[in-house]
Amino acid sequence: MITPKPLPLSKLYKACRVSDFSFEDTQVIPPLDTFIGQARAEEALRFGTAINHKGYSIFAVGHDGLGKRTMVRRFLEQRSAKMPAPSDWLYLHDFVNPRKPWAVRLPCGLGQVFKTDLQAFILDLKQAIPAAFDNEGFFERAEKIKDTSAELQSQALKALAVEAEPLHLKLVLQSPGGYMFVPADENGQPMDADVFANLDEALRRIFREAIETMEKKLRLVLRQLGQLEKQSRLEQQALNEEVTNDAMGDGLEALQEKYAEFPRIAGYLTALHKDLLDNLAIFLDLDEDEEDAVASVSPDKRIPTRYQVNLVISHTASDHAPVIEEALPTHNNLVGHIENVTYQGTVATDFSLIRPGALHRANGGFLLLNAERILSQPYAWDGLKLALRTGCLRIDTLERQLSVSGSVSLEPEPIPLNCTVALLGDYNVLNALQDQDPEFMELFKVVAEFETEMPRSVPNQRLYTRLIASMVASENLLPVSKQGVMRIIEEASRMAEHQGKISLNAAELSHLLREADYLATCEMKQRIEVEDVRKALQARRRRGGSYPEQMLESITQDFIMISSSGERIGQVNGLTVVGGHDFYHGQPSRITARVHYGNGDVLDIERSVHLGGSLHSKGVMILTGFLCGLFGAEDTLPLDASLVFEQSYAGVDGDSASLAELVCLLSAMAELPVKQSLAMTGSINQLGEVQPIGGVNEKIEGFFEVCQARGLTGKQGVIIPQQNVMQLMLREEVLEAVKQKQFHIWAVSQVEEAVQLLLGLPAKKVYEKIAERLDRLRDKDDDDDDEDEDDDSKERPKKSLKKAIKSEPVKND
């Protein structure tokens, strides 16, 4: 087998070509006005905003930092600019059923006009009605009605009193509004009770019979007086209505004529007219308590609450369809709520305290929400689903829905909903909603999936340059030079972990531009140069480099034992990646293996002590399967083995060390030393093929830092899977060391290639040594068994594993 050669420098980093960029800096680059690398998401958004059917709301999904919110909002604003402004909505008092205010739709811009017109009309009435009632003409007519009624009542009572005189009875006023007949003396005055008691029984009976007869007539007269009172009130009411209508003048008729084409407004104005006639006391200050209550509840103290207009949604003719983003999507902020006020220890509310939610403001347009935030707010998600499912907006209080308050509240008429909701979230939220909420897919049928990367083609590099120019312009940063843009694009490829792709993480790009701008500004530069970008990246690594530096110091001082020179049997340098949310670094880890006589079992020490994850255990099982297939196809392996990550005190997971663990086992089984100047990463399958892994750049750089700290010898390097070569975007210091032939990178595709590099022998020779050892152990087994058998028994045939290995071809790349 041919020994793999180190990768050339050109395979370790893909630099931008200067010829692909024809500008000096980003000042001359037009800003980006379209999506970049998100054709699929753009198509989904276009479909979701164009289809006008229930259930086609949008869920924009993608990893954090991609700029989903910015791109979705920009798209919705462009779409809404071509759509007309929606209708105005207002709530009006229902004079028949005050608990159920009317929801009234008016054309765009007319809601504010109607509110202004009605306010002006009511304010005029507040002046006109008191003036109309405070004049001599009204007083004379009212007094005449009162006098006429009083005269008729007096005449009826006098006639009845005259009729009672011959019977020696006197009509007296016993209490306010109450009359009765009593016996009279010779002078016509009411007889004293003592005098009446001294009369003989026959005379007293005559008086009682006369009183009973006259009281029957009195009751008839009193009923007539009641009718006269009623007639008087009706005449007074008619007078009041006449005066009130005169005070209204043409104002009400003008309103009715102006809004005649709107049936709800016409009906409201009719009901308003009747209510004005029934509640003149509001304008005449006849009910002080009601006046105080109105002032305490109403937001506009100039106008009685019942005659106000609660304009919940208003637009102008120059507006277009709204795009609303609700940063705090609570239940009340989404679907609206009804406020309360406390007056004299009592909680009160009315229709003027109805407050709209984000869905009201977005009605006829688009609503942008963060999925995780709305799910974290109690009842907000249920409120949103109810509105989308029913297609209408019902304003209600949570207290009433949950039955935790016994106070009387309002039941406003619902408002039809015509709004496209766009939720923003990651894949975890999307999967959770799809799995746990059966209504989700019925309401959010459009999923706009945002890509994390795009191909690194010349046109895409130009689009990315425009994205850089847009961010620079929007944040008022220094322009970026051509070389600076090239270096940023190269860093974007490193973030994408692929030489042929560019990361679309807008947040990381924005951070890098700000940090480079800061460094360039500190040095009084006119633009961001490539050196500023390099320094910004170095400063970022330095800020997050406390733990890596501590680990490197521990390795160089042998507190953590990692060998970077010499040879050891059953010991390999594996590579891991550790880090936090925004910073990862590679770290070598010593893997050791010991073998001993046994039954072919491989002990994963990490799993045995519950420090190994399921993926790591899977990798160990796979390499065990490979070994059994290679050396134990016809008989049990007479060896047991143990594997461990030395000085590992935290959890270990992933299968990227399975190649290193396999070579470590082969070294222990063959009793051949492993070169400690090399480190290795890669996973394997049961057929011995090397599979790609993640974090390849960080792993290489982690081992390089150890070798650099101890001194580069020219023999050190890292072995990686062949598939990971396209992911290499190594740092400048690693590239320089490779250029000076002080550090090397090898790529392998088969286990045998890694074995040859690390053990210094062709894999076939290594396998033969292992086979010889296994044959010796099996022979020992057989000899022990033969001692227990009779001397005349025949010896069973044995097949040499070494011969089988020699006859079996070894795979090559």
Mean pLDDT of the region 185-192: 74
**More confident position, 638 or 538:** 538
pLDDT value of residue 213: 80
Q: How many alpha carbons lie under 13 Å from residue 342 in its C-beta half-sphere?
A: 1
pLDDT value of residue 796: 45
Structure confidence by residue, pLDDT tens digits, 326-382: 999 999 999 999 888 877 777 778 898 999 999 999 999 999 999 999 999 999 999
Structure confidence by residue, pLDDT tens digits, 236-261: 777 777 777 777 878 888 999 999 99
Mean pLDDT of the region 94-115: 93
Inter-axis angle of helices 482-496 and 458-474, to 10 degrees? 110
Q: How far is 673 from 670, CA to CA, in rounded Å? A: 9
Catalytic: which of 14, 699, 765, 769? 699
pLDDT-based confidence at 200, cuts 50/70/90? confident
Structure confidence by residue, pLDDT tens digits, 458-509: 999 999 999 999 999 999 999 999 999 999 999 999 999 999 999 999 999 9
Catalytic: which of 589, 656, 683, 749? 656
* Burial degree of 177 (CB within 10 A; 0-12, 13-18, 19+): exposed
pLDDT-based confidence at 176, cuts 50/70/90? low
The percentage of residues in the chain with a pLDDT greater than 90, rounded to a whole number, is 54
* Region of residue 140 (phi > 0: left; psi between -120 and 50: alpha; otherwise: beta): alpha
Structure confidence by residue, pLDDT tens digits, 276-325: 888 887 887 644 444 444 444 565 667 888 899 999 999 988 889 999 99
Q: How many alpha carbons lie under 13 Å from residue 21 in its C-beta half-sphere?
A: 26
pLDDT-based confidence at 395, cuts 50/70/90? confident
Q: Are 728 and 697 in contact (CB under 8 A)?
A: yes
SS3 at position 488 = helix
Q: Which residue do the tokens 């290679």 mark?
A: 630
In this structure, of 238-247, 293-302, 432-441, 537-546, the range with the lowest mean pLDDT score is: 293-302
The answer to whether residue 592 scores a pLDDT higher than 90 is yes
Annotation says 699 is catalytic? yes
- Beta strands at 366-370 and 354-355: parallel, antiparallel or unpaired: unpaired
pLDDT value of residue 310: 94
Annotation says 457 is catalytic? no
Structure confidence by residue, pLDDT tens digits, 255-265: 999 999 999 99
Q: How far is 589 from 572, CA to CA, in rounded Å? A: 8
Structure confidence by residue, pLDDT tens digits, 131-170: 877 777 777 777 787 777 777 877 877 887 787 778 777 7
pLDDT value of residue 597: 83
In this structure, of 204-213, 274-283, 544-553, the range with the lowest mean pLDDT score is: 204-213
Q: Are 660 and 676 in contact (CB under 8 A)?
A: no
Query: Which stretch, 136-150, 474-488, 589-603, 613-627, has highest mean pLDDT?
Result: 474-488
The answer to whether residue 234 scores a pLDDT higher than 50 is yes
Structure confidence by residue, pLDDT tens digits, 210-221: 878 877 887 787
